[in-house]
Structure 1
Amino acid sequence: MKTKILLALLLAGITTYAQSPADPYFKLTRAGFIEKNAFETTSFVEKYFRVPGNTGFNTSISYVENILKKAGFVEQKQNEFEAPLTYRIEKRAMKNNTWEPVNASIEIIGESTPLISYKTNRNMIPINCGSTPAGGSTAEVVYLSKIMPSEIEKMDLKGKIIFSESHPSRLLAIATKAGAIGVLGYSMPKYTQPEVHQTSIQFGSMKANSEVWTLLLSYAAKEKLKASCGKGAVKLKVNIETKVYPSEELTIVANVKGSVKPQERFVFSAHVQEPGANDNASGVGTLAEMARLTAALYQSKKIKPQRSLTFLWGDEIVSTRRYITEDTVRAKGILWGMSLDMVGEDTKKTGGSFLIEKMPDPSAIWTRGTDKHTEWGAGDVKEKDLFPHYFNDFIFDICKTQGKFANWTVNYNPFEGGSDHTPFLQNKIPGLLMWHFTDVFYHTDNDRIDKVSATEMKNVGVSGLTAAYTLINANENTASTTVTQVKNDALTRLKTEFELSKKAIAEGKSAADEKHIIEVWSKWYIDALATINKMPVKAETTRVGSAIKFAVNEVEKQTNIYLEALK
């Protein structure tokens, strides 16, 4: 009798709710997101080399503030919910001075054109590098084909410039001890294809307050200097101008107050620092337009958030972690976190594709089949680190829907870490990353505005906002629909893993080990289904709980069939 009633309810739900709960929000976000706005903000921010506290970072924060003010957000005076739309700029004294580059050039004495200059390669100056004396320094360059400290110590390097094909930080201590005045180095990973993109330099850093300066070379500059050194003695004139000064670290936070449960919220985060256009001016620009649109929809009463929505811009990981940890009461109400990092790439130019980095699921441990890690690299995820939750499948489904609508390629990768989603996960809050990889211009000074796609930013913004609006207003229909989605995804994943395990056993792998993989996936999805029970703002009936039980039974039944077949 109970089974019949449950099936009737499910069938009734399917009949009554043919429309996805996200559909109305898709219509609003697709019509309202102005990609030109996102692109213009990205273009403004990318002009600056942004380090917390420096001119570029602070100017970018001010630019976002102006967008928020024009959109109707009012500056917070007492608390973040004193008005429906508020923002605040948090200011903190910095323990160390901030830094910013001004200019640099390297000239081979006797040649008319510079070997390399800041005008074309602003990443040539590592963060924290000091200045040369006014007018620059001229000295002989010594090429080291191998870094062997015992041999280098025997060399006369006093007053000279060391040049090697490794990151200059590796030679900084040796250079200082030997009395050298500077170090030139090279450090480009294979996925940046330096032999193809010969002018690229990835940004780096060095120890602050060093007596010795260091500079980074592009592949082209490195090869040219190496060839010159092979012909005989070479002298270089190096000119570096940087600024070091005390400052404040800024974080800007905007809030849209929920009408029913304001303490529960969805938090978006985009970091400001780093010098690139895609990384991460595109995240800043996309999130700024998302906040503007949200304010417009709220003021026109087209959305009525029942939970709160927060937008945060600041220092990568640092600002997000602080937002979560400095207020334990607020942290308890953060139900979802989303990081926007490198979200505007013109993939025809950069390579890779749009990705959702999943919260830790078993694919981060057993990466096989179509699952694959990016060139960023896998993390050391253990079974104890797994984070079962519906958020993975919910967001991926939203993005796939937008992808189908806009002919937009959407993929995912197993958890790797390294951006603003990490602090959420470390504090047991569901957190995901929207990004692009593998990008041949990642962290290089060729990551400029010409590599950014306004359309890509719109697809990300539409997907992110639609997901957030759906969740902060979730009802039992939203939850029931999600139960069906996650259950179907679970069955699909189990079938895939079963086929992979069956093949592995045929190739001689341990049947017990392969069965364990199936069991871990099954448990992950069963536990993920259980989290849907807390999705609705108001739980009015037992409908969601019943749907979860029914879905769990299906997953368990299919799991047992697969485990039996693997014997």
Structure 2
Amino acid sequence: MRCTTRLGCLIVVFIATVSADRAGAQQPAAFVPITRGVERELSGARARATTAFVGQYFRLPGNRGFDASIDTVARLLATAGFVEEARARPADRFTFRIESRPMRTPAWEPLAASVTLEGSTAPLQELRTNGNMLAINSWPTPPGGVSAEVVDAGDGSDAALDRIDVRGKIVFARSSPSRLYTSAVTRRGAAGVLVAQELPAYLRPEVNRTAIQFGSISLDTVARGWAIFLSRASQQTLRDALVRGRVRARVTVGARFDVRPERTLVAEIRGRTAPDQRMVYSAHVQEPGANDNATGVGLLAEMARVAARLVRAGTANPQRTMTFLWGDEIRSTRRFLAEDTARRDKVFWGMSLDMVGEATALTGGTFLIEKMPDPSAVWVRGDDQHTDWGGRPIPITQVRGHWLNDFVRQRCLVRAARTGWVVRANPFEGGSDHTPFLDAGIPAVLLWHFTDQYYHTDLDRIDKVSATTLANVGNCALTAGLLMVEGTPAVAEGVLRELQGAGERELATQLRMSRDTISVHGADRAHEQVVLEAWGDFYVEAIARIPDMVVGPSGISLTVRRAQDAMKRRTDFVVKALP
């Protein structure tokens, strides 16, 4: 870029200066003891071992796999020195409890399933190798299974079903499982349905031909039928057989319904001086995958162990409480906030761990920090793009300035500078345990991976989980959390210095994109000014929130005001730099 005026030269210098590498190994001195302590103690291998145990189960609230996962983490906590809350003494700082609540519907668990075409010696599909083939809420068949004719109902519409007699037969169709089951089994008396599952393109169904995503049908206590998902490979085999003539199949289903409670595990490291104020981690237990989300369960257990060890050693001394939640996705987190409004009002920050251990060379996923809403969720451009999971722009009125996005990203980038770990971010999309925090007005981020070609499929197994990735994510997440609850002015001052640098870099990046958008694409200057000013306002407000980190008087009010003034001047500068 060539400059021909004094202002133009200043712009070049500004962009070149603050657009240097977004992070490095440098960090404030106050952060170093905790960063090194976590790095020394946290074991990705240990987290992966817990992941392997949890990942062997098809986990739904109340079923035996879900409860075994909860119980295993509880035992790990006890081994790490956490005391069951009912037996804890007033002086015990590390406690846990298991909350139980009645469920409205029975807990469901798959036990066995197979589909065998008559005349074939091997099953077309079986649960042993396709763990997601049985739709949730399917009922077991009689001993020995059901043998019936298979009829192709096309798209499974009412018109297609009306053209054939399906009573007592097995219906094969492309349709949503619940709609097909209701139309074919409940209304027309079919024995059960085979669902031709169509996977989204990002799951690479042309390559992963045996993959099946888990799904469900509505609970039916009258017809008590079943639905089975067929992989692309199984669909082709069945269609080839139907072309040759009439097909009969034998279907066996083993499933278990139990009246059991839904359980949530809550562990806490009590804050020294402000125990009613807290930071909350959340990892959901349900879903059958290894990465989704046995990794979150296993890593959060390891983080709790390490946090307790560092607090005992005096490396960390949280002034606020650190809370760890394991339970049903979104529901457990939302309930933790909703059931006690006084508790909710003292939750300062949240962090969700979901799909945090990917062997990215196998899955194709990238580690991501899903940010709480910032201007990148309003104007999506540059590096921070929406994922294949899906997101849409939000109104600027939903954006509130906060330091959490940049603080967590910087903790990850410090780790990345040493290990070569790839760290990226995406604008807010929702859909995991960070959402209830944000709905309650609590700053929160999600740590995850996407796009994962095995997402929600039965190919998401332990071989796709990396101990190295778990160590990377765990170091970032726990270091951030321990620093956040430390509650000291020194930590807050360090966050302020980092945030000033992050704000300057972001303004430089946005200025570069705005100049290109105007010069190359003829965009409206007034619109680009709105974008730049929104980013400036975001960081001015974020700086104002930094004293929240300190328990007691912060002593940094003047420094904060000066930083805000500097950010306002920087914003004015970049706006004037627009062509």
TM range (shorter): over 0.9
> What amino acid is the match of 2:253?
I
Whether the 8 Å contact between 2:280 and 2:324 is mirrored in structure 1 is yes
TM-superposed deviation, 1:170: 3.2
Worse overlay, 274-283 or 150-159: 150-159
1:485-523 superposed Cα distances (whole Å, 9 cap, x missing partner) = 212222222222222222323323333222222222221
TM-superposed deviation, 1:252: 0.8
What corresponds to 1:66 in structure 2? 75
After TM superposition, the structure 1 = structure 2 runs for residues 408-423 of structure 1, keeping only pairs within 5 Å, are: 408-423=421-436
TM-superposed deviation, 1:557: 1.9
What corresponds to 1:48 in structure 2? 57
1:17-75 superposed Cα distances (whole Å, 9 cap, x missing partner) = 98432211111111111222211111111111100000000111110111111111111
TM-superposed deviation, 1:166: 3.5
After TM superposition, the structure 1 = structure 2 runs for residues 184-199 of structure 1, keeping only pairs within 5 Å, are: 184-185=194-195, 186-199=197-210
Corresponding position: 1:178 with 2:188: yes
Corresponding position: 1:532 with 2:532: no
* SS of corresponding position for 1:124: coil
TM-superposed deviation, 1:94: 1.0
1:251-274 superposed Cα distances (whole Å, 9 cap, x missing partner) = 111111111111121111111111
What corresponds to 2:287 in structure 1? 274
> What amino acid is the match of 2:188?
A
TM-superposed deviation, 1:80: 9.6
* SS of corresponding position for 1:242: strand
Distance change (3 Å), C-alpha of 1:222 and 1:528: same
* SS of corresponding position for 1:277: coil
Worse overlay, 492-501 or 310-319: 492-501
What corresponds to 1:502 in structure 2? 515
What corresponds to 2:325 in structure 1? 312
* CA distance in 2: counterparts of 1:497 and 1:201, whole angstroms: 42
Worse overlay, 46-55 or 528-537: 528-537
What corresponds to 1:10 in structure 2? none
Corresponding position: 1:111 with 2:124: no
What corresponds to 1:553 in structure 2? 565
* SS of corresponding position for 2:567: helix
TM-superposed deviation, 1:303: 2.5
* SS of corresponding position for 2:256: strand
Whether the 8 Å contact between 1:105 and 1:118 is mirrored in structure 2 is yes
* CA distance in 1: counterparts of 2:88 and 2:440, whole angstroms: 24
* CA distance in 1: counterparts of 2:183 and 2:29, whole angstroms: 63
What corresponds to 2:43 in structure 1? 34
* SS of corresponding position for 2:452: coil
Corresponding position: 1:390 with 2:403: yes
> What amino acid is the match of 2:406?
D
What corresponds to 2:108 in structure 1? 99
TM-superposed deviation, 1:82: 5.8
Whether the 8 Å contact between 2:297 and 2:326 is mirrored in structure 1 is yes
Q: Which of the numbers 352, 357, 375 marks the counterpart of 1:339?
A: 352
TM-superposed deviation, 1:184: 1.1
Percent identity for Structure 1 against Structure 2: 43
Q: Which of the numbers 195, 200, 205 marks the counterpart of 2:211?
A: 200
Distance change (3 Å), C-alpha of 1:20 and 1:222: farther
Q: Which of the numbers 513, 536, 539 marks the counterpart of 2:527?
A: 513
Whether the 8 Å contact between 2:66 and 2:286 is mirrored in structure 1 is yes
* CA distance in 1: counterparts of 2:534 and 2:432, whole angstroms: 26
1:288-312 superposed Cα distances (whole Å, 9 cap, x missing partner) = 1111112222233333222211111
* CA distance in 1: counterparts of 2:115 and 2:568, whole angstroms: 66
Whether the 8 Å contact between 1:53 and 1:248 is mirrored in structure 2 is yes
Q: Which of the numbers 509, 516, 522 marks the counterpart of 2:536?
A: 522
Worse overlay, 129-138 or 145-154: 145-154
Corresponding position: 1:563 with 2:544: no
TM-superposed deviation, 1:527: 1.1
TM-superposed deviation, 1:78: 7.8
1:89-119 superposed Cα distances (whole Å, 9 cap, x missing partner) = 1011111111000000000111111100000
* CA distance in 2: counterparts of 1:78 and 1:390, whole angstroms: 38
* CA distance in 2: counterparts of 1:255 and 1:438, whole angstroms: 33
TM-superposed deviation, 1:379: 4.0
* CA distance in 1: counterparts of 2:157 and 2:321, whole angstroms: 58
* CA distance in 2: counterparts of 1:125 and 1:387, whole angstroms: 44
> What amino acid is the match of 2:34?
Y
> What amino acid is the match of 1:309?
M
TM-superposed deviation, 1:234: 1.2
| TM-score computed with the length of structure 2 as normaliser | 0.91
> What amino acid is the match of 1:43?
A
Whether the 8 Å contact between 1:53 and 1:249 is mirrored in structure 2 is yes
> What amino acid is the match of 1:153?
D
After TM superposition, the structure 1 = structure 2 runs for residues 375-386 of structure 1, keeping only pairs within 5 Å, are: 375-379=388-392, 381-386=394-399
* SS of corresponding position for 1:436: strand
After TM superposition, the structure 1 = structure 2 runs for residues 438-477 of structure 1, keeping only pairs within 5 Å, are: 438-477=451-490
> What amino acid is the match of 2:572?
N
Distance change (3 Å), C-alpha of 1:42 and 1:454: same
Q: What is the aligned residue count?
A: 549
* CA distance in 1: counterparts of 2:199 and 2:312, whole angstroms: 48
Worse overlay, 476-485 or 41-50: 476-485
What corresponds to 1:13 in structure 2? none
Whether the 8 Å contact between 1:22 and 1:467 is mirrored in structure 2 is no
Whether the 8 Å contact between 2:391 and 2:429 is mirrored in structure 1 is yes
Q: Which of the numbers 145, 154, 159 marks the counterpart of 1:150?
A: 159
What corresponds to 1:492 in structure 2? 505
CA RMSD of aligned residues (A): 1.8
Whether the 8 Å contact between 1:80 and 1:255 is mirrored in structure 2 is no
Whether the 8 Å contact between 2:28 and 2:494 is mirrored in structure 1 is no
Whether the 8 Å contact between 1:183 and 1:214 is mirrored in structure 2 is yes
Whether the 8 Å contact between 1:201 and 1:217 is mirrored in structure 2 is yes
* SS of corresponding position for 1:527: helix
Whether the 8 Å contact between 2:134 and 2:227 is mirrored in structure 1 is yes
* SS of corresponding position for 1:122: coil
> What amino acid is the match of 2:207?
V
* CA distance in 2: counterparts of 1:232 and 1:168, whole angstroms: 25
TM-superposed deviation, 1:198: 1.2
* SS of corresponding position for 2:305: helix
Whether the 8 Å contact between 2:307 and 2:482 is mirrored in structure 1 is no
Whether the 8 Å contact between 1:476 and 1:536 is mirrored in structure 2 is yes
Whether the 8 Å contact between 2:384 and 2:424 is mirrored in structure 1 is no
* SS of corresponding position for 1:77: helix
Q: Which of the numbers 116, 119, 124 marks the counterpart of 2:133?
A: 124
* SS of corresponding position for 1:504: helix
* SS of corresponding position for 2:132: helix
TM-superposed deviation, 1:539: 2.4
Worse overlay, 489-498 or 244-253: 489-498
* CA distance in 2: counterparts of 1:73 and 1:481, whole angstroms: 31
* SS of corresponding position for 1:178: coil
Corresponding position: 1:360 with 2:385: no
> What amino acid is the match of 2:124?
L
